Amino acid sequence: MDESNIPGATAKRLPLYYRYLIFLDDAGKKRVSSAELAEAVQVDSVSIRRDFSYFGALGKPGYGYEVKGLLSFLKKILNQDILTNVALVGVGHMGHALLNYNFKRTNNIRISAAFDINKKITGRILCGVPVYDINEMHQQLQDQQINIAILCVPQDVAQKTADEMITAGIKGIMNFTPIRLIVPHGVRVQNVDLATELQTLNYFLNSRKWDVIISFFCVKNLHKFQNQCIIIDVS
């Protein structure tokens, strides 16, 4: 199996399946159909079957999927059988929130080191994570063999900080800044722009409202047009 040929949309859905399968396994469920899985994770069953088909025959028609077997397979694919250390760069409001978040609740990922320029917090341990001065980042990333980092710095230093992280060996960046980073081939960036997501959500909510207004306007004017036709016919 060549994982580079797996579509991005499929890769994003695998953690959803994994989390729900953990729930099923804890509940003692032995097998699950694609229809049941579809209803639980809100992904259509055709997409689920196609997602799993990229990895070979994981289920049987009319039988479904063995929960333990599928869970074990996804655990391996998602590297959940090993602990992955992640760095947090920028311990502002967003950084603090991420430090407080318990990643290990649903997967084997933990923030093992944080970096900032604020002298009030560097050299301390926050939420069980040591906070280093940003000048120590290159050495610490290499010493701890960390290749994934979360970027939460101000946008005016985002690209420069990302360049320094990549030089230290970072291969994957979860980017919480509004800047679209320029990175070399072989480095993966996942952009998380909360403002954009909220704007998109607001657009869809308001577009539904406008659909109703436009529909009402069209119906109202259709009646006017019909009435005008009737008047012309009578005269």
The pTM of this model reads 0.65
At 38-51, the pLDDT tens digits run 898 888 888 888 88
At 179-219, the pLDDT tens digits run 999 999 999 999 998 888 888 888 878 766 656 555 555 55
Bridge partner residues of 31 (DSSP): 66
Single out the residue of 172, 170, 202, 177 nearest to residue 191, CA to CA.
177
Residue 124 contacts residue 186 (beta carbons within 8 Å): no
CA atoms of 4 and 186, how far apart (whole Å):
12
Q: How confident is the model at residue 64 (pLDDT cuts 50, 70, 90)?
A: confident
Q: How confident is the model at residue 229 (pLDDT cuts 50, 70, 90)?
A: very low
Mapping DSSP onto H, E and C, the string for 7-37 reads CHHHHHHHHHHHHHHHHHHHCCCCEECHHHH
Average pLDDT in the chain: 83
CA atoms of 29 and 20, how far apart (whole Å):
11
CA atoms of 14 and 7, how far apart (whole Å):
11
Q: Alpha-carbon Rg of the chain, whole angstroms?
A: 25
User: Is 84-192 a CATH 3.40.640.10 domain?
Assistant: no
Domain edges within the chain: 3-77, 84-192, 196-235
Residue 141 contacts residue 165 (beta carbons within 8 Å): yes
Q: How confident is the model at residue 78 (pLDDT cuts 50, 70, 90)?
A: confident
Name residues whose C-beta falls within 8 Å of residue 159's C-beta, 6 or more positions apart in sequence: 179, 181, 182
Burial of 131 (0-12, 13-18, 19+ CB in 10 A): buried
Residue 227: per-residue pLDDT: 47
Residue 225: per-residue pLDDT: 45
Q: How confident is the model at residue 104 (pLDDT cuts 50, 70, 90)?
A: low
Single out the residue of 168, 192, 5 nearest to residue 87, CA to CA.
168
Beta strand 129-133 with 109-116 is: parallel
Q: How confident is the model at residue 57 (pLDDT cuts 50, 70, 90)?
A: low
Is the pLDDT reported for residue 223 higher than 60? no
Residue 105: per-residue pLDDT: 56
Is the pLDDT reported for residue 152 higher than 90? yes
Is the pLDDT reported for residue 133 higher than 60? yes
Residue 89: per-residue pLDDT: 97
Structure token pair of residue 44: 């259509």
CB atoms within 10 A of CB 48: 23
Indicate the class that CATH gives domain 3-77. mainly alpha
Structure token pair of residue 151: 């970027």
CA atoms of 93 and 128, how far apart (whole Å):
17
